Amino acid sequence: MRKLIVIATFALSACASVASAESIAIKVGHLVDPAKGVVSHDRVVLIDGAKIVSITDRLPSPAPSTVIDLSSSWVLPGLMDLHTHLSYDYTGTLCANYVEHGNGYRALMGMRRAQDMLASGFTTVRDLGNAGNFVDTDLRKAIEAGLFVGPTIVNAGKIIAPFGAQQDSAPIEVGTCWQYEYIDADGVDDVRKAVRKNIFYGARVIKLVSDPRGQTHGTYTEEEVRVAADEAHRAGLTLAVHAKEDMTAVPAILGGADSIEHGYTVSDATLKLMKQKGVYLVGTEKPLSHVRLGKPANPAASEANARARVERLRRAYQIGVPLAFGSDVTEDLAGRDRGRMTSDFIEGWIDAGIPADYIVKAMTFNAAKLLKLEAERGSIAEGQYADLIAVSANPLADARTLANVTFVMKNGKVVRRHDRAN
């Protein structure tokens, strides 16, 4: 009898839990479909708990207890930034930066930046390393456990690189300081072990650095990349490869990378190979406004470099390379938090002549496809998580409006309701 009472009590508790999940109706004036580049009007998005349950043309009867009126707004899926470093602040030499702050400080710094990004409409971020001793895993777990409100984090753990990581050089007396941030891996066996170690410690994406800073030696071969890709894919993860030029990008593409990060000087031939293989470019083109605010020692050279990267983005789009949005912000500018700085990167896409509808797609649907999350996020559809943002004008006509998000919902919970101060 006691057993029956316990079972009945558990069943009632479970029913009460389901019933208590909040149902919400959002009245949408203009609903954006980034995958198709179209807008439908006067729709109602019904949400139960964390997910969208249906999209209709009128409020149900009886209406849910919570009705949100966005009838004068354009509503679209939450934005995604696929190249972030939330727990890193590049303000000095790499080795000095690694040990200046402990894991605790970097976790708090990363959480603040994650929340700033969410407030700016970035509901999903891919954090690609430079996070100390697996701080990014802790950030992800804390958000997933509901300890903090933040974006979905797809984290890389430690960056895998040839010996020396991204150091220009280091005297032997310093030791292997970079191993706080990186895993040295040379040869297929090292690479395989490094991937497995990252997965064990909670990585949700694998990242290789294939061109150490200023070096022409020690770059990854096609065989080494293929081992990393095979191990990542076997675990259901994707492989991102930091490669700035043809010498490092081509082996990465042929070895099975899912994305090339940066690709600043890659040739048209390499871009055509990326298109053929379906490899995404996450280009991280710094906007000219950031170059100028950073007050570089040689402004003309820095601006010319930024323009060259934008031109490469233009060529990639024209060739038909699949593109996803990424920023690679690693240092803060006065008066701009991480979310605002990330939104600024839309400037480079506009300067490259990329149509607004494709920019929106690159920041939502394309990004979700690269992450292999398109069944869960990146669209507003039945069964998707309710990651929604609203803006005051049609982003398919002008992508600049994405820099001024007026409403943010994450997993069915409202995070922001008012216009952001400029």
Q: Which domains does the chain have, with CATH numbers?
A: 79-344 (3.20.20.140)
Please calculate the CA angle 243-361-251 and round it to the nearest 5 degrees. 20
List, for residues 69-103, the tens digit of each pLDDT value.
999 999 999 999 999 999 998 876 667 777 778 89
Name which of 187, 127, 131, 130 is nearest 152 in CA terms: 127
Per DSSP bridges, beta strands 51-56 and 66-77 are: unpaired
pLDDT of residue 294: 84
Strand ranges inside 244-370, DSSP E: 259-262, 280-282
Q: How far apart are CA 47 and CA 363, in angstroms?
A: 23
Mean pLDDT of 201-225: 85
Is it the case that residue 4 has pLDDT exceeding 70? no
Q: Where residue 17 falls among pLDDT bands split at 50, 70, 90?
A: very low
Q: Residue 107: helix, strand or coil by DSSP?
A: helix
Lowest mean pLDDT among 130-134, 251-255, 375-379: 130-134
- Under 8 Å CB-to-CB from 235, ≥6 apart: which residues? 199
pLDDT of residue 11: 36
Burial (CB count within 10 angstroms: exposed 0-12, middle 13-18, buried 19+), residue 356: buried
Q: Where residue 12 falls among pLDDT bands split at 50, 70, 90?
A: very low
Q: How far apart are CA 390 and CA 71, in angstroms?
A: 10
Is it the case that residue 303 has pLDDT exceeding 70? yes
Is it the case that residue 107 has pLDDT exceeding 60? yes
Mean pLDDT of 384-400: 98
Is it the case that residue 393 has pLDDT exceeding 70? yes
Contact 334, 50 (CB under 8 A): no
The pLDDT mean for the chain works out to: 90
Contact 402, 390 (CB under 8 A): no
Q: How far is CA 139 from CA 54, 212, 282, in A?
A: 31, 27, 23
Is it the case that residue 10 has pLDDT exceeding 60? no
Contact 45, 26 (CB under 8 A): yes
Lowest mean pLDDT among 66-80, 118-132, 153-167, 233-247: 153-167
- Under 8 Å CB-to-CB from 108, ≥6 apart: which residues? none
pLDDT of residue 78: 98
Mean pLDDT of 165-187: 79
Q: Where residue 171 falls among pLDDT bands split at 50, 70, 90?
A: low
Mean pLDDT of 202-223: 83
Contact 121, 363 (CB under 8 A): no
Is it the case that residue 355 has pLDDT exceeding 80? yes
Q: Where residue 172 falls among pLDDT bands split at 50, 70, 90?
A: confident
- What is the CA 164 to chain-centroid distance, rounded? 26
Single-letter code of the amino acid located at 201: Y
Is it the case that residue 254 has pLDDT exceeding 50? yes
Is it the case that residue 20 has pLDDT exceeding 60? no
Q: Phi and psi (nearest 5°) for 26?
A: -115, 120
pLDDT of residue 218: 67
Mean pLDDT of 211-224: 76
Q: Where residue 173 falls among pLDDT bands split at 50, 70, 90?
A: low
Is it the case that residue 168 has pLDDT exceeding 80? no
- Indicate the angle between helix axes 268-277 and 299-319, nearest 10 degrees: 40
Q: How far apart are CA 253 and CA 250, in angstroms?
A: 5
Is it the case that residue 16 has pLDDT exceeding 50? no
